Structure 1
Amino acid sequence: MLQLEHLGRPQLAEKKTVFVAFAIEDQRQRDLLKGQTLHSRAPYEFIDMSVKEPYDSGWKEKVRTRIRRSHGVIALVSKNSLTSSGQNWEIQCAKEEGKPLLGVWAYSTDRTALNGFRTVTWSDVNIASFIDSL
């Protein structure tokens, strides 16, 4: 009987789930982020709660469940973030759930600041480093 050796074989990395918080006005940027392949070393997926009516019945509980199941949260930050009650609630929820949170400026010409977390420029290196750290 042959025994198969598993030593020395690379282990498959756990697929990381990253919740994306964004203002509905920045949906195109969210689409770009979700469509971007950062690198193949770490498998990952982006999820979000794209809704036009953020306060439908049960919306907050659905968001909280998705954030709880995520390894971390990326907030696409822009001037629209300042008035997006849905995105701001998602960010607050991520903080309450103790999830790692990274802000990424959605546009190269917009450096809106949100308090309580680090915001970086949109680059493969910055986003991949965050995902690798999860």
Structure 2
Amino acid sequence: MARTNRIFISFAMEDEWARIRLGGQAKNERTPFDFVDMSAKKPWDEAWKTQCRSRIKGCDGVIALVSNNTAGATGELWEIKTAREERVPVMGMYISQDNRPVWLPPELSGVLVVDWTWDNIKNFLDRI
């Protein structure tokens, strides 16, 4: 039986639709990957940071959904930074061809950012 990865999905609140879509995609029986979505689904505050760090540390990897909203998403940027501090593998994934940022924030420096495809997600899950 294949291993199910625990994945934290990091996203800008404006891109919540993409997190919902990705979580649904993982449950589709035709999808060549499987993971448990461990993302924080509520706006964050100081108490949230402690809980979120623990949740990220308990995950096998982080998929950061990348769009034009990412650079201004302080919660998402904090999650990416925290994952890197905790040495949890991070992959960035563009949510669409039409919504690609011109530049990536420093938190994504050195992070592989790929197009949203089943193969790219499966390859990341296979590497972690």
What do you get for the CA RMSD once the two structures are aligned? 1.3
Could you tell me how far 1:43 is from its partner in structure 2? 4.0
Corresponding residue of 1:97: 86
Aligned match for 2:35, one of 23, 44, 53: 44
Q: Secondary structure at the match of 2:93?
A: strand
TM-score (norm 2): 0.86
Identity between Structure 1 and Structure 2 (%): 33
1:33 and 1:15 map into 2 onto residues whose CA distance is 15
1:106 and 1:29 map into 2 onto residues whose CA distance is 7
Residue 121 (structure 2) pairs with residue 132 (structure 1): no
Corresponding residue of 2:22: 33
Structure 1 residues 100-119: aligned runs within 5 Å = 100-112=89-101, 113-114=104-105, 115-116=108-109, 117-119=111-113
TM-score (norm 1): 0.83
Larger CA Rg, structure 1 vs 2: 1
Q: 1:71 to 1:43 in 2, by over 3 A?
A: same
1:43 and 1:124 map into 2 onto residues whose CA distance is 11
Poorly superposed stretches of 4+, deviation over 6 Å: none
Aligned match for 1:84, one of 73, 76, 93: 73
